[in-house]
C-alpha cells in the first residue's frame, strides 16, 4: 500500500514540476526578448539622434556660410545698419559651437517627441493623431505643435530670446525626429487597455 501511495504522489507532482519549469523558462525567454527589444530601441534612438544632429549641423554651417556672404554685400550691410538687434541675434547663434548647439536641440526635440509619442500611445490617440494620417497630416497635427513646445523650452534653455527665431531653430530637428519617436513608442509601449488586460490575465494565472 505504501509503495502504491508513493508512486501515486510522484505521478501527481511530476506534471506540476514540469509546468513550473516551463513557466520559468517562458519568463526567462520573455525577459531576454524584452532586453533585446530595449537594446535595439536604444541603438535605433541613438542613431536617429546622431543622424539628425549631423544633418542639422551641416544645415547650420551652410546657413552660416550664406550669412557671411550676405553681410559682405551692400544689401547685407544695409540690413546690419537698419536692423541691428535682429542681426545681432543671428550673429550670436552663429558664433556658437554649431555642432554642440545641434546636439542640444536634437536631444531636446527627441525627449519632447518621445514623451508625446508615449503619451499618445498609452491613451489610445496615436492611431487617430498620427498613424491614420498622411505625412502632411502628421506634420500639421503633430510636427508643428511639437515644434512650438520644443521652441518654448529652447527659449529659456539655450538663450533664444525671440519666439520666431526659437521656432525656426526648433523646426528642423523636430520634423526630423517626431516620426521616428512615434514609431518607437508604438513598438515599445502598450495601450492602457492592453496593459490592463495583460495584468488581469496574469493575475488569473497566479
Answer left, alpha or beta for residue 124, where phi above 0 means left and psi between -120 and 50 means alpha: left
Residue 48 lies in a domain: yes
Residue 64 lies in a domain: no
Cα(158)–Cα(84) distance, integer angstroms: 21
Segment (H or E) for 66: helix 2-71
Say how many domains are in the chain. Answer: 1
CA distances from 189 to 105, 108, 186 (A): 25, 21, 6
Instruction: Report whether 98 contacts 64 (CB < 8 A).
Output: yes
Residue 82 lies in a domain: no
Which cell goes with 71?
Answer: 553681410
Query: How much is the pLDDT for 197?
Result: 63
Residue 92 lies in a domain: no
**Which own/partner pairs from 31-38 qualify as long-range (CB within 8 Å, at least 24 positions apart)?**
37/187, 37/188, 38/188
Residue 79 lies in a domain: no
Instruction: Report whether 93 contacts 160 (CB < 8 A).
Output: yes
Residue 63 lies in a domain: no
Range of the structural domain that residue 163 is part of: 2-56+98-205
Query: How much is the pLDDT for 1?
Result: 45
CA 1 to chain centroid: 68
Tens-binned pLDDT, residue by residue, of the chain (206 aa): 444 455 554 545 555 555 556 666 666 777 777 888 888 889 999 999 999 999 999 999 999 999 999 999 999 999 999 989 888 888 989 999 999 999 999 999 999 999 999 999 999 899 899 999 999 999 999 999 999 999 999 998 888 878 888 999 999 999 999 999 999 999 888 888 766 666 556 556 65
Query: How much is the pLDDT for 121?
Result: 93
Instruction: Report whether 93 contacts 170 (CB < 8 A).
Output: no
Cα(169)–Cα(148) distance, integer angstroms: 11
> Based on C-alpha coordinates, what's the Rg of the chain?
27
- SS3 category, 125: coil
Query: How much is the pLDDT for 204?
Result: 65
Residue 86 lies in a domain: no
Amino acid at each position: 500500500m505504501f509503495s502504491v501511495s508513493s508512486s501515486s504522489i510522484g505521478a501527481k507532482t511530476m506534471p506540476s514540476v514540469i509546468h513550473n519549469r516551463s513557466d520559468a523558462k517562458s519568463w526567462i525567454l520573455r525577459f531576454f526578448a524584452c532586453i533585446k527589444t530595449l537594446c535595439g530601441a536604444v541603438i535605433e534612438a541613438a542613431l536617429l539622434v546622431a543622424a539628425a544632429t549631423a544633418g542639422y549641423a551641416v544645415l547650420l554651417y551652410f546657413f552660416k556660410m550664406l550669412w557671411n556672404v550676405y553681410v559682405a554685400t551692400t544689401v547685407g550691410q544695409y540690413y546690419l545698419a537698419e536692423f541691428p538687434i535682429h542681426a545681432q541675434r543671428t550673429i550670436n547663434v552663429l558664433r556658437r559651437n554649431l555642432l554642440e548647439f545641434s546636439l542640444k536641440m536634437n536631444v531636446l526635440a527627441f525627449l519632447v517627441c518621445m514623451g508625446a509619442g508615449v503619451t499618445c500611445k498609452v491613451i489610445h490617440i496615436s492611431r487617430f493623431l498620427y498613424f491614420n494620417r498622411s505625412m502632411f497630416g502628421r506634420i500639421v497635427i503633430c510636427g508643428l505643435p511639437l515644434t512650438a513646445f520644443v521652441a518654448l523650452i529652447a527659449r529659456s534653455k539655450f538663450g533664444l530670446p525671440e519666439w520666431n527665431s526659437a521656432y525656426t531653430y526648433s523646426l528642423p530637428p523636430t520634423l526630423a525626429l517626431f516620426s521616428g519617436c512615434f514609431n518607437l513608442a508604438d513598438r515599445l509601449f502598450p495601450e492602457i487597455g492592453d496593459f490592463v488586460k495583460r495584468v488581469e490575465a496574469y493575475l488569473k494565472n497566479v
